[in-house]
Amino acid sequence: MKTITLTLKKFSSIALEFEELIPDTVYNWNKEDFENYQVPVGNSRFPLTNYFDIEVEGDAEGPEDVKMILEGDMGRVKYIGYRMTDGEIIVNGDADLQAGAEMIGGSLKINGNAESYVGREMRGGNIEVMGNVKEYCGTSYIGEWRGMSGGVIKVHGNAGKQLADCMSGGEIYIGGNCDILAGIHMTKGYIEIGGDVTRWPGGQMKNGTIVIKGKLSYLLEGFDPEGVFVDPEVDGKQLAGKYIKYKGDVGVNGKGSLWLDAEKNRNLL
Amino acid sequence: MEYILKNGIVYDPTNNVNGDKKDVMIKDGKIVDNVSSDAKVLDVTDKLVMAAGVDVHSHIAGPKLCLGRLYRPEDSRAGVVAKTDITRAETGFSIPSCSATGYRYSRMGYGTVTEAAVPPLEAKHTHEEIMAIPNIDVSPLALFGNNWFVLQFVKENDLEGLAAFVSSWLKISRCYGMKVVNPCGSEAWGWGQNVHGIDDPAPYWGVTGGEVVRALTKVNEMLGLPHSMHVHPNDLGHPGNYPTTIATLDVVKDIEKNPNVLRDQTIHCTHLQFHSYGGTSWRDAKSGAEPVADYINKNKHVTCDVGQVTFDETTTMTADAPMEYDLYKLTGLKWANKDIELETASGLIPVIYSPKSPVSTLQWAIGLELFLLIKDPWQVVLTTDSPNAGPFIRYPRIISWLMSSDRRTEMIENKEVHNWASKRTSLPTLDRVYDWNDIAITTRSAPAKILGLEKRGHLGIGANADVAVYDIEPENFDATKASNAAVVEDVLTRAAYTIKDGEVVVKDGKIVKIVPSRHMWTNVTGFEQQEKKVLEDIMPMFNRYYTVKFENYKVFDHYIDPAIEFTIDASK
């Protein structure tokens, strides 16, 4: 097991990019390798040691043996865990854009808030964010119609707009509230939102499942009610309580299912 | 600057040089037969030397490209290359950034590219983009097949007026020649319709695609434009469309070629692969390549380019807007549509050509059938209708398929492609291979001749010093072996030298110099009086229906700097 600890000593207002610092590339690096490494900053590169104190302990045979700990405010560090296939990254602070984007495997834990595009086009692995995430969590790249296809994202706080755009697999759990258009264009996968949702979940969804345990302020017209179910089993998960089930989005002949907590959404009964 | 390329193996079909070991000498941007002792020697001993490539049909500049880039930001992620001291950063795969377009053509040893579809209303934009593309000269073709004025002239059977209109509009748009796309079909799209076959009239106008092609071809020969009528026939991509294609080619058969032009053809049929389908639907679709190739083999007034499918995820973009809508209904992918006022329409949609897909494989096989069934390589040109059937950077891969029937057999037998290649086409039975001379014809000499470019596509004395050298020894290399296909592709993708107008722009596959691309346009003289009258006649309609004023419509000279003007005396 190899533990790599990078402790922030100088905050850069121009974002650092960490796409090369994933377990897959650094598992055989020693301390000197890190000290010689130049990290992309804006359109240049500067020594990693300008920004971080580096500690490396133990050895690793492959990325699966690596634990990277990023200490401090990573609010201007982008692409943490980008395309990682294995190993573990823990961020003890906030993370900037694209954390866990295109992730294939392994785990990423952010003990703070994350910016937009967490888990964009994720294919596998686990992401856990203890705070909030901003927009486009678990979505596709801009313009791309193939989004998140696997893995699990768990956000304990709130999520921003267009959660899981074009999702085609995997699971997303949001503990807090969620803004507009969660699960837009989704074709497969499971989204569970613990808190309230502003508007329009499941717009143009073709298939997949969205569960909302809080209050939905505005349901899209393209969803037909299919009845009220008590303690339903949805995608192999047992939900507790009464839920209203909708099918949609009929605008695109969608067969997706949207489950709303009946108690919190009595106005729709 | 003088150069001497020493001891290369030269393929120059125009001048009957077929793999001879000889020197190529360059002075002041031209090929010469003698240079001074100061000439810089480039040792290219035993390497493959050809004229720089000429592309007869590609989409590289203009509003469609811009829309494509806006509409497919995900495509820009592919092909990212960091800037160097010489080059700008590159992005994009099927729709590369402007500078990347120039670099990539240049790296493949190309020197001249035809931008195949310029709506005159968007000509300014096209020329602006050409200004941003380096290292290749561009010959833009203006769209006439659905233009309201053209339809009006055809309706009134006023060929003299039509000729004056074309002559005037080539000056206004600063274009090199004429292009017709789905004649009357794109106009019908303005009414939510399409036309089927060459005898189906456009709504309101009552004229047919056949009449438009015939009238414009007559005008083309009347004016003596360097390039012939360049036609994208009706019914593109529809199973069972090959009779329409043959009918389109046949409708101009009796039109006499202007005696002053270099070319042999009176009609050039573009991306023929998309127009050579048999069957009645995608369920029973099959190849229609044989009857089409047979027609071309028997008729010298026709040339074509193939539009070879390359099995990539690419972006289709065409002025054939109703076809793009059909494609959207078929695939459900994101679709963009545009109306170009009195001139045409256009559409855009991503397409994934997969070797696992029966339809893509059928299209791939039909393209190769056309290459192999059309006997005279001077009649068939290598294109991918870039980016419609695949991006132009795949030309070397297509060459590797053409040069090795073993490789083609391997792909079919190893199930790299769907079995429709053998079940619905004759491809497995075709063992013809192209040699380097054939490749030089289909990628350089033939397209230059078809475009009427006297000084391009060959290495004769006085020709432009546009030369490509590839790091391969044709005498010691067996391109017919399946295992060598990857080598052919690799070597042709990165030229050892690309020389543009006597300057080395690529060395060892890397851009070493940037030169501005020149805008090639045709200036027809001898029709000034008629042009003046035609402009006066059409101005009320122009002012009524266009959203721009005529004063702002014209492409001004500063949009085409530097330019190459081809002056044609139409009175001859």
**Minimal C-alpha gap between B71 and chain A (Å):** 7
**Which residue of chain B has the CA closest to A44?**
B82
Distance CA A205, CA A187 (A): 6
The string of pLDDT tens digits covering residues B534-554 is: 999 999 999 999 999 999 999
8 Å CB contact between B254 and B291: no
Residues in chain B: 572
Interface test with A, best of B69, B74, B328, B331 (most A CBs within 10 A): B74
Look at residue A65 and give its three-state secondary structure. helix
Closest CA to B170 of B223, B212, B131, B207: B223
Look at residue B7 and give its three-state secondary structure. strand
Distance CA A28, CA A15 (A): 26
Distance CA B124, CA B558 (A): 10
pLDDT of residue A122: 98
Residue B430: its H or E element: none
Interface membership of A144 toward B (CB under 8 Å): yes
- Output the pTM of the full model: 0.94
Residue B189: its H or E element: helix B185-189
Q: How confident is the model at residue A93 (pLDDT cuts 50, 70, 90)?
A: very high
8 Å CB contact between A108 and A89: yes
Q: Where are the beta strands (DSSP E) in A130-187?
A: 152-155, 168-174
Q: How confident is the model at residue B172 (pLDDT cuts 50, 70, 90)?
A: very high
Can you spell out the DSSP letters for B283-336?
A: SS-EE-HHHHHHHHHH-TTEEEE-----S-EEEEEES-HHHHHHHHHHH----E
pLDDT of residue B358: 97
The string of pLDDT tens digits covering residues B7-60 is: 999 999 999 999 999 999 999 999 999 999 999 999 999 999 999 999 999 999
For residue A253, which residues of chain B lie inside 8 Å, CB to CB? none
For residue A140, which residues of chain B lie inside 8 Å, CB to CB? 74
Tally of CB atoms within 10 A around B253: 14
Distance CA B247, CA B244 (A): 5
pLDDT of residue A154: 98
Distance CA B489, CA B482 (A): 12
The string of pLDDT tens digits covering residues B178-233 is: 999 999 999 999 999 999 999 999 999 999 999 999 999 999 999 999 999 999 99
Closest CA to B295 of B333, B329, B246, B261: B246
Interface membership of A142 toward B (CB under 8 Å): yes
The string of pLDDT tens digits covering residues B438-496 is: 999 999 999 999 999 999 999 999 999 999 999 999 999 999 999 999 999 999 999 99
User: Could B75 and A142 be called an inter-chain contact, meaning their C-beta atoms sit closer than 8 Å?
Assistant: no
Interface test with B, best of A98, A102, A136, A145 (most B CBs within 10 A): A145
The string of pLDDT tens digits covering residues B489-531 is: 999 999 999 999 999 999 999 999 999 999 999 999 999 999 9
Which positions ≥6 away from A128 have C-beta within 8 Å?
A107, A108, A109, A110, A153, A154, A155, A156
Residue A188: exposure state from Cβ atoms within 10 A (0-12, 13-18, ≥19): middle
pLDDT of residue B1: 85
Q: How many CB pairs below 8 A link A and B?
A: 14
For residue B466, give the DSSP letter: -
Q: How far is CA A91 from CA A11, A130, B397, in A?
A: 15, 10, 46
Amino acid at position B156, single letter: E
Tally of CB atoms within 10 A around B534: 24
8 Å CB contact between B349 and B327: yes
Q: Could you report the predicted ipTM of this complex, rounded to two decimals?
A: 0.88
Can you spell out the DSSP letters for B359-402?
A: HHHHHHHHHHHHHHH---GGGEE---TTTTSS-GGGHHHHHHHH
Distance CA B550, CA B389 (A): 36
Helix, strand, coil % over all residues of chain A, rounded to 5: 10, 40, 55
Both tokens of B492, joined, read: 């042709």
User: Could A143 and B333 be called an inter-chain contact, meaning their C-beta atoms sit closer than 8 Å?
Assistant: no
The string of pLDDT tens digits covering residues B300-315 is: 999 999 999 999 999 9
Can you spell out the DSSP letters for B507-518?
A: ETTEE----BPP
Interface membership of A40 toward B (CB under 8 Å): no
Tally of CB atoms within 10 A around B532: 12
Distance CA B346, CA B326 (A): 13
pLDDT of residue B570: 87
Distance CA B75, CA B61 (A): 17
For residue A145, which residues of chain B lie inside 8 Å, CB to CB? 333-334
The answer, yes or no, to whether residue B571 has pLDDT greater than 80, is no
Tally of CB atoms within 10 A around A154: 16
The string of pLDDT tens digits covering residues B69-85 is: 999 999 999 999 999 99
**Which residue of chain A has the CA closest to B70?**
A143
Q: How confident is the model at residue B168 (pLDDT cuts 50, 70, 90)?
A: very high
Distance CA A266, CA B524 (A): 76
- CA Rg, chain B, in Å? 22
8 Å CB contact between B341 and B120: no
Distance CA A202, CA B402 (A): 49
Task: Name the residue facing A141 among B71, B74, B334 (closest C-beta).
Answer: B74
**Overall average pLDDT of the A101-108 stretch:** 98
For residue A141, which residues of chain B lie inside 8 Å, CB to CB? 73-74, 77
Closest CA to A165 of A187, A132, A194, A133: A187
